[in-house]
Amino acid sequence: MKNKGIVLAFSVLILTSCMVASRPGGGVEIVPILPTIVELDLDAREPYYEHNGYHYYYTNERWYYSSARDGERRELPRSHWPKETRRRGGDRHDHH
């Protein structure tokens, strides 16, 4: 019975810190949710953020993710966006 509680607590922790998305061609992938605050480099050609092995892109005020730097990008659900996106040396954009 004790192990059930540990498994349940671990499952809740995992599910609150990631999202499960279907892959093209079948299967699922677990994509880490962005931190509460993300800071992007103003000098970058394209606003880009790497987190837990995934690549996130901020384009046209929307977030996208990919499992590879040059891989296919998929839109990140708004519920998984950071609460605040900052640009180093620049302005702030609140999303929620």
b/e code 14-40 from CB counts within 10 Å (16+ = b)? eeeebeebeeeeeeeeebebbeeebbb
Tell me the domain boundaries of the chain. Answer: 2-94
pLDDT in tens, 38-55: 998 867 777 888 888 899
At residue 60, what is the residue type? Answer: N
In angstroms, how far is the first alpha carbon of the chain from the final one? 40
Task: Read off the pLDDT band of 62 (50, 70, 90).
Answer: very high
Q: Supply the pTM of this predicted model.
A: 0.65
Spatial CA neighbour of 34 closest among 91, 77, 92, 88: 77
Q: How far is CA 93 from CA 31, 40, 48, 62, 78, in A?
A: 23, 11, 15, 12, 14
Q: Exposed (0-12), middle (13-18) or buried (19+): which is 76, by Cβ within 10 Å? A: buried
Give me the chain's average pLDDT, please. Answer: 74
